[in-house]
Structure formats: structure tokens, C-alpha cells
Structure 1
Amino acid sequence: MNKSKVLKVIKQHKTNYPDPISLHKGQTVHTGKLYEGEEDWDNWIYCFTEDKSSEGWVPAQIIRSKSGTGRGVILEDYCANELTVEKGEELIVYKELNGWYWTKRQLTGEEGWVPKSHLEERQG
């Protein structure tokens, strides 16, 4: 998705991760399990920072694995912040990745991930 667009929240979403992992390009992480679930959320890997002070889900596309080491290098800055949203809110969508949208709340400017299945095109 190259251009931003505004979508409406059709289903409430509450974050389960109040302290999301935040990584910078070139950082090394320990890689864990791939996400497995009923949702269409492929290509997410659970990672830990080297000092184990932070952990969370990271898109596989931004990790260059160090073969056989259980570690990888981050290819771009990344933050796993999820937005808690209520039905009826409108969000600006900037990026789509692995079943999630990177969004911005119009009223406050707060940014974060929201499941794609929780948003739809505005009507009218």
C-alpha cells in the first residue's frame, strides 16, 4: 500500500502488549517461534532483544536470519505498538503487513498496528 487511506473500525481491538518491542535497523535479536493461529497473520516471529529486556512479534520480512544461530539482524526500524480501538473510530492506514495495518488515530495522532479484519472502507 503506497498511499494512505481512512478506514473505519468495525470490531473493537484491545492490545495484549502494553510494553511493545521496539527495534532499530542493524540490531541483533534472538528469534523464536513463528506465529500459528486461526487468524490470517502469517510471517510473524516472536523475538527477544539480546539483553532479553524486551520481546514481541516481529514481521519475518524485516529479519535477516543468521543461519543456524537462532538470531537475526533487523533490516529496518520497527515498533510492535498496537492500538486499542473502539467500533466506529476512523483510522488513517499507512501500511499493510501480514494481516495487520499500521494506522494513525485521527483525533490524537497515536500510531500502531490494528488487525486488518477489524477495519473496513468507510461508507458514504
Structure 2
Amino acid sequence: MKSIKIEDGNLEFMCVDGIEEFWQRIVNSLKIYNTECFYNENLGLDIRLINEQKVSEYKLEHIVSKLQEWYKREIESIDYEIISEEERTLKAKIYITHKKYSKLEREVSING
């Protein structure tokens, strides 16, 4: 499959394939769905938000849930590890086990 690569809001028309194509689709999906709303359709507003220390965990759980929903045919599992949280920037490692490409590990920054 071919993918359009977006870098810092600039559209670059280039072809990427393999594991890079898969990762680019994830990045593009998350950039399009960049409004983090703390709302779960099944649960309403998550009670864990009362404890502010859990906000980072909730954001990552929400992102993992969306990725599993969107890419359930390709992904076996997704996990994460919070590295740091400074002011409004969260750094984490995302671990994805892809059915075709095996394991993928990337460090990500989430601004919020």
C-alpha cells in the first residue's frame, strides 16, 4: 500500500511502503484525529480524570483504543510506556506488534 507523508503540516507527495508506510498511516490518522476529548462513548467522561496524575495514562489509553479500532486487521497488540511528562508535553514509547511486520517501537511526543 502507498501512503502520503505529512511532515510538520507540509504535504509531501512521496511513496513509502513496508513498515514505514504502516507507521505513516498511523501518524496521519492521529494528526487528523488530533482533538483529544477525554470522552469515551461507552463510559462518558472517565472518572480517572478526577485524579490529575492519571490524565497522561488516559490520553494514551484513548489513543491505543482508537488505533486498535482503526487497524484491528493489521495489529495484534499495542502497548505503551510513559517516559516523561513536562508541563503540557507527554513523551511515551509505543510498542506495536504488527501481524506482517512483527514488532515496532517508536518514541512519541504528545502536546496537549
Pick the structure with more helix per residue: 2
TM-score, with normalisation over the residues of structure 2?
0.27
* Greater share of strand: 1
Higher relative contact order (CA 8 A, sep 6+): 1
